[in-house]
Structure formats: C-alpha cells, structure tokens
Structure 1
Amino acid sequence: MVDVRKPEDMLRAASLRVTRPRLAVLEAVRAHPHADADTIIGVVRDVLGSVSKQAVYDVLSALADAGLVHRIEPSGSPARFEARVGDNHHHVVCRSCGDIADVDCAVGEAPCLHASNDHGFTIDEAEVIYWGTCPACTAKKTLETQNT
C-alpha cells in the first residue's frame, strides 16, 4: 500500500534527513508509479531546477534501502520505482510497450508462493513478474492485423 503520511514524516521515521532532493524524489515516485529513473529525474528537475542524475540515483537508492520505495527490475528493462511498499503484490509487464501494473497477491501475505526445494534457505518473500500484452497494445495489434 502507498504510505499516506507526509513525505517529511516518512523520511524522519526512516531516520533520513529531510532534504529538498529527497522530498522531490519521494513525491515524484508517489505521483508516477512504476516510473524509471529518467522519468523521475525529469520530474525532480521540473521541481528543483538543476539536480544531477547521480544525486537522484543516490536518493532512489537511499529510499529503497530504507523501505520507502520499491525497486522493480523487469528483465531487459530499466529499473522502475514505486511507492507501494509493505504489502505483498506482484507486477504484470507488457512485452510491447513496457507498461507495468500491480497484481495483488492471491494469498495476501508473504511468501505467497512456496519453492519446491528451498535448498536450506528461509524464504520470506516471492517476487513474481507476469509478462503479457496490455489492452492498448493488443487492440493496436488487432487493428493492424485487420488493416493488412
């Protein structure tokens, strides 16, 4: 679930200093779920003016380490970031356009999947990425097929 606390309170609760870049990045992630770093950099620059890419990457890393944002890493795609943390959900990714949507876990608590062989690990989470084609890309492909 997305944390409804004020960004300042979220940072303080995570023992992070409240800075303009951290606030801007956190608010950008909250406003643009599943955005990649370049999108977040653009939004942050619109708010703050000049800010380096590295500064935004550093803030994203600190926020992810603190559990305030979640980093999603679909294979073959740039990392994406979301503010929905603290619940057990998965993602579906469009193979055509890269759009990502949340998929609630059927069980609701982690881990919702159990490995057939855990190799001695204590498993506390299962992260699933479903792949497919989004409705917009499916409709576009259908239209292209009909027009040929």
Structure 2
Amino acid sequence: MQARAIALLRGENARMTHARKAIVDLVFSVNSPISAISVLKGLAKKDIGVNKTTVYRELSYLVKSNILKEVFIKPNSIHYESALLPHHHHLICNNCGSVEEVDCVINERKLLQKIKSKGFDLKTHKFELYGTCASCS
C-alpha cells in the first residue's frame, strides 16, 4: 500500500522528500490511527530528524492529497491513517482509548443515491463510535 501511495504522489508531480516518504511508511506500518506526536516520536526512534512543524505540514499535505485521512479519537485529538484502506469506521473506548476498526455495514450505494437525490454534493464524512471496550467492561 505504501508503494501505491508513493505512486499517487509521484503522479501529482509531488516531491518525494525523505520526510514525506518516512511519514507515509510509518503511518502505513501501524495497525491503528496514529497522532502527529506519535509520528514525530516514531521518526525520532528511526533516527529521522524531522521537526514538529514539518510533521504537521506533511500530514496536512498527505490528507489533502487523499493519501491519509483524519480520524477524531477524542475532541481536539486528530489521528491519521491510510485513506487507501477499505471503507471502515472505528470503535473507540472512552476508558482506555483503544481503537478498533469495524467494517461499514451500511448499504453505501443506497446511501449515496439518497444523498444525491437531495442535491447534496458529498465530499467526505466522519463516523466514529464511542463506548466501552470488552476489556474495560
């Protein structure tokens, strides 16, 4: 999937900087959404010297390029994951903060037809489910 993301960026004639590639590799290698601070720490562990401003700028660019998408785990807490994954939502535990992916069970085609029939031009949506995980119950 990283190769697909890099190919998409190159198709946009985007510069493939060392920092950008490292961020794509890191975000695509984790199994759940990751915060900007965790990206910064992960890059530091790999001895990739990137400052905080660069990380935020690159994450923003990768979201605008539809390589990454934002996931809102908590209010004012943006995490990032691949936008190239199959459509899914997240179960977020209010106690421990664990995040689990859940497949989308809504008939997406019917929903999109309904939205279009209302004359609405849908760009994206965010749908996260909050509650208590099995471990915390």
The Cα RMSD (Å) is 2.9
TM-score scaled to structure 2, two decimals? 0.79
Runs of 4+ in 1 over 6 A off after TM superposition: 113-116
Give aligned pairs, total. Answer: 135
Counterpart residue type for residue 60 of structure 2: S
Could you tell me how far apart the structure 1 residues matched to 2:112 and 2:134 are?
27
Could you tell me how far apart the structure 2 residues matched to 1:108 and 1:119 are?
17
Cα deviation, residue 125, structure 1: 4.3
Q: In the TM superposition, what are the counterparts of 1:1-148 in structure 2 within 5 Å?
A: 3=1, 5=3, 8-32=6-30, 33-76=32-75, 78-85=77-84, 87-107=86-106, 109=108, 112=111, 121-123=120-122, 125-138=124-137
TM-score scaled to structure 1, two decimals? 0.74
Could you tell me how far apart the structure 1 residues matched to 2:109 and 2:14 are?
27
> What residue ranges of structure 2 are gaps of 5+ in the alignment?
none
> What residue ranges of structure 1 are gaps of 5+ in the alignment?
139-148
The sequence identity of aligned pairs, in percent, is: 24
Could you tell me how far apart the structure 2 residues matched to 1:5 and 1:68 are?
11
> 1:48-99, CA deviations, whole angstroms, 9 ceiling, x for partnerless residues?
4322101000110010100001111234251011014364321111101212
Q: Which has the larger radius of gyration?
A: 1
